[in-house]
Amino acid sequence: MNEKELTRLLRGVRGGKLTIDEAVAKLRALPFEDLGYAKVDHHRELRTGFPEVVYCAGKTTRQVIEIARCIAVRHHVALCTRCTPEVYAAAAEAFPQVTYHEAARVMVVGKPPKPSARAKPIAVVTAGTADVPVAEEAAITAETMGCRVERIYDVGVAGLHRLLVHREQLEQAEVIVVVAGMEGALASVVGGLVSAPVIAVPTSVGYGASFQGLAALLTMLNSCASGVTVVNIDNGFGAGYFAALLVKRKR
């Protein structure tokens, strides 16, 4: 509630259009719905441009479905990440329209917007085949938020020419999500090649001294290429969301 709305509200009080109780209610009322174990934040779409997203890990099937319903009713679409096939099976019975992206472990309840054909695409790039699930989480998230995505998979630095052949495609992207485990060097190489901003996603792919993604994370944080920022290990959702934010704000 900004100053202008506040002035209008107070004028309404003085002019008698609003009772004091009504004004108190307006000032106090906050747009969330309380399910006891969860407080669904309906205000978030206004505040951040996209409705609350359901992070399914650590929630029961019943909780996920109730929260998703609560969001989909008001916002047309509910994005559910880290979603198991079991939860999807239950959701498939509960909702008329629901899609499950198995590799990405993402469930979409309701109908996501059509991507705008005019906007430049988001490129989602992986170093290896094993990084694809995290990349898909990013891609599906961005698509559900109405963006166009181009997937360029398995172009890690051990065979640099595989990446170089996609150079032009990378240059034409609005923003690039680079998903890589093991040593995570791909983010720096892409960041050094093109002018688009790069969102780097370290993955837990690897073994031994990869320490479940720590190696890739540190690599990306220390990138000598300048236009690179980083999200949490395996956080495809965060990267896809941030990329979509950039595309949508530009329009």
41 binds a second copy (CB under 8 A): yes
- For the chain, how are helix, strand and coil distributed in percent, rounded to 5? 45, 20, 35
Total binding residues for a second copy by CB under 8 A?
111
CB of 83 to a second copy, least distance (A): 14
Q: Which are the contacts of 111, defined by CB distance < 8 A and separation ≥ 6?
A: 76, 77, 97
**Can you tell me which of 23, 90, 94, 119 binds a second copy, judged by CB under 8 A?**
23
DSSP 41: E
Q: How far is the CB of 96 from a second copy (least distance, A)?
A: 25
Q: Closest distance between a second copy and the C-beta of residue 219, in Å? A: 4
For a second copy, give the closer residue by CB, 29 or 96. 29
Using CB under 8 A, which of the segments 85-93, 94-102, 105-113, 223-231 binds a second copy?
Answer: 223-231
Q: Does residue number 227 form part of the binding site for a second copy (CB under 8 A)? A: yes
Task: Specify the stretch interacting with a second copy by CB under 8 A; choose among 14-22, 70-78, 89-97, 104-112.
Answer: 14-22
Site string for a second copy, 53-82 (x = CB under 8 A): x-x-xxx---x-------------------
CA distance 247 to 251: 7
- Strand extents, DSSP E, the chain: 32-34, 39-41, 54-55, 77-81, 98-101, 106-110, 122-126, 149-152, 175-180, 198-202, 228-230
Q: What part of residues 95-154 is at the interface with a second copy (CB under 8 A)?
A: 127-130, 132, 153-154
Q: What is the end-to-end Cα distance of the chain in Å, rounded?
A: 25
CA–CA distance from 76 to each of 11, 51, 140, 236 (Å)? Answer: 35, 9, 17, 23
Q: Which one of residues 17, 39, 62, 74 is an interface residue with a second copy (CB under 8 A)?
A: 39
Cβ neighbours around 8 below 10 Å, total: 12
Judged on CB neighbours under 10 Å (0-12, 13-18, 19+), 47 is: exposed
CB of 140 to a second copy, least distance (A): 15
- Which parts of 179-208 interact with a second copy (CB under 8 A)? 182-185, 188-189, 191-197, 199, 202, 204-208
Which two three-digit tokens encode residue 149?
């995505």
Q: Which stretch, 35-43, 70-78, 86-94, 111-119, contacts a second copy (CB under 8 A)?
A: 35-43
